[in-house]
Chain A
Amino acid sequence: MSESDVTRGGLEGARPGREAVTGAHAGRRRRRRRDRRGEQPVVPEAHFSSYYGRPVLKAPPWRALDIAGYLFLGGLAGASSLLAAGGQVTGRPGLARVAKLGAAGAITVSLGALVHDLGRPARFVNMLRVVKPTSPMNIGSWLLAGYAPLTVAAAAADVTGRLRVMGAGATAVAAVLGPAVTTYTAVLLSDTAVPSWHEGYRELPFVFAGSGAAAAAGLALACAPPAQTEPARRMAVLGAVTELGAFRLMKRRMGLVAEPFEQGRPHRLLRGAELLTTAGAALAACADAVGRAGVGRRLGRVPAAVAGAALLTGSAALRFGVFHAGVASAQDPAYTVVPQRERLRARSG
């Protein structure tokens, strides 16, 4: 407690607490900004008050592996259902089988992750106790309750070769639900008070749609026969363009709360996602061009597998980056207080 000593010579050392400044921890606080590699700040230095620097909001209590993992797998499954239906209709059985198995596998694992993340896993059925459009999680549960069995039925019918008509029907309905499964997760994140998730609600569904498409294309490229993956290659390019474009737009529109995307771990993850997705899409596009020239077969499956792996990893990194950025934005009171102050100032004129 004390650094001072009473000796024969008198008091030695300082008496702690004597110079303590009242309110040293409270009241106005200047924000420290981390070095941002010469980037210009989106908004000028913000001054704001906080209660001992503690967050105003509570960060979501979710485990990153479960929830960010679900965002990735759900996106992969939803977009895979599109490839499955397309492959089936256009006579690409190899592509269709990979996509069906991918969708069924990804959604099954993600359901496991979702149940695992509940504080009371045994009560997961309570999700289906009501139908509640104001709760994206409730709507998502209903969506998954319809979608997951369809993907499993489609995959089972394809693998066993039985009940083909039923399998085709399941594939078709899953393809209708698939895009919703991919994009509703953006609403799931945005419909919170978490600044970096909520403020991105306009573009985040498009980011997730593009990322899901890239992931599904990646899986098909890596696993399906190269002769049948032309649609996947195109999907990879279109998905990557959508994802990266929407993400840029989102960050530009968000102002201060875009900062968590540019710092620390989320920044590294998102930079990695950008590089991997771009590289994967570029590789897929090259393979597409080479394939059309009729020399694709000689190249073998290695470039396609590399492109696929890059796209899958990129998509996963994007979801983890977005997840961690949101958590970071909830944990720093600046992202809650400063935008709200600015809003009040703008309103009062």
Chain B
Amino acid sequence: MEGGYIFDEKDRHNAFISTLDLALFETNGGPLEGIAVAVKDNISTAGMPTTCASRILEGYVPPYDAHVVTLLRQAGAAIVGKTNMDEFGMGTTTENSAFGPTTNPVDPGRVPGGSSGGSAAAVASGMVDMALGSDTGGSIRCPAAFCGVVGLKPTFGRVSRYGLIAYSNSLEQIGPLGKTVTDVNTLMSVIAGPDARDSTTYDRPYDHTPDPDVKGLRIAVPEEFFGEGVDPAVSAKVQNAIATLEGLGAETIECSIPSMTYALAAYYVTCTSEASSNLARFDGVRYGPEVPAVRSWHDEFKTYRGERFGKEVQRRILLGTFALSAGYYGKYYAKAQVARENVRRDFIRVLKDTDVIAGPTMPSIAFHLGEKSDPLSMYLADILTVPANLAGVPAISVPCGTVDRMPVGLQIIGPHFADEKVMDVAYAFEQEVA
């Protein structure tokens, strides 16, 4: 049996790239039956355009569903549309979209964060109940924090990436966004689990009911998460939130993650390197707007890619190409992999004696539209989210108050496969402040 969800919301925040007026869904008693779910536009949907917010994928309609989309359909979800994003996931604001920026539902003069800004805005504005995003270096958690919703980046390998248009394969995960921890928990239980088509997935299904009991929980608080570059007002809000958890019986332990010094550089070298290779296939031959066949292929590809990729995408492709090139591989790519391993070991070390790490999701509240124009200063905003991607550990962002009427996110990071634990801590906090 099939049901139909009529989607007639006004998209005031440009949260969607494409929508369906009538989204069909299976009426099979699944956990998401009849629930409107939005899907980030870098996740393949058979028969629905999937553009990654790029002119280079204009008109592309995948002939197959991403694994998570198959799971959503099986769970009875009504997939109502594809959400706006930074082109190929490359950005922290959702301003780098060929379809124009998404605005923050809390303050339309500000960005919703990125790159899953459309998904966060669609949830925050109440257009949908839940949404899927993808998180390469904070792309779920940052917009969740900026828009005041909940977002989880799962443990690497817990959710299949099959059908996610790759930006940086070794770092990214698809994850859920929702208004509440319970919604995020429900969506996570639908999408997690092994998939033979993604060789990097683990046989770790997710079947969990959040437990708000945090008595005796040991929370590590790294000094680096409250250091230079973090807005003191944001720090204070997050410290308050941690104190709330202490009030519920948790204890805090101060710690240090020395590899944070070079984590951001390791992240950008890795993601741009992988991106330079992942995005090389966009040449207009097999899909996307057709490449002309007038001049020789090299000239045609160059012009096509120069015209259709946005500037930030071009910048990252070039950076990655450079980082992998002969003579620079050792200095950049190889070094970044060692740095990454150090970050992973630091997290494992800290989380051996503690249960979770807590800190701010973002060092500031949402920027004003157009506020950040310099690439490097934009990259620096990711400093608190990228470590979890480098380490492959789960991390959740849950709203913990406002600064200047803008939401602030509390980030809870757990050890590998402790997605349930970070969910519990976020749930405990949410229930306490609700």
Say whether A associates with B. no
